[in-house]
Structure 1
Amino acid sequence: MAEVTLNFWAGARAAAGTPSESVEASTVAQALEVVLDRHADDRFTRVVRASSLLVDGVSVSGDALGRPLEGRCTIEVLPPFAGG
């Protein structure tokens, strides 16, 4: 299991009510599952599911959500941003 810090940005931060959380997880998907279970809030769930994810600065999605995590890592949760 990895020690994972999830940093929430913009709408994800507002929905979570905190800028970050720490969890232990084996995969990105498991880390997301843990925080989604902790909050059990429809707004938070919608924001997280619409967000882009960076693991240690590298974008992940789809099958990569099942990639194994090791040691310490950081997941950035970046909701869609409006602007030009």
Structure 2
Amino acid sequence: MVTIVVRYFASARAATGLDEEKVTLPDGARVADAVARLRELHPEKLAKLLDAVSYLLDGVAVRDLTRPLTEGAELDVLPPFAGG
């Protein structure tokens, strides 16, 4: 098992009511597995946002959701931001 820290920002924080939470996943889990688990943990409000958000894994933008997760990794959930 690996435990990661998921940090929520802006509307994702509002949807979960959390700044961050620890999520435990099976060994060999990937970012897509974490996203699926977040849908299960927060099926109402967050699940709708997850199709539009961006992710950072340990501070690096993730476009490939097959990237593996390691123990203690930080996954940031970043909703689209308005403004400029």
Same fold, judged at TM 0.5 (above):
yes
CA contact (8 A) 2:38 2:47 kept: no
Matched, 1:68 2:68: yes
1:50 maps to: 52
Question: Percent identity at matched positions?
Answer: 40
The answer on 1:40 being equivalent to 2:43 is: yes
TM-score (structure 1 length as normaliser): 0.86
Equivalent AA in structure 1 for residue 24 of structure 2? E
Q: TM-score, length-normalised on structure 2?
A: 0.86
Higher share in helix: 1
Computed over aligned residues only, the root mean square deviation of the Cα atoms, in angstroms, reads 1.2
Which amino acid letter does the alignment assign opposite residue 28 of structure 1?
V
- The total of aligned residue pairs comes to 81
Q: SS of the residue aligned with 1:29? A: helix
Secondary structure at the aligned position of 1:50 is classed as: coil
Are 1:31 and 2:34 an aligned pair? Answer: yes
Structure 1, unpaired ranges of 5+: none
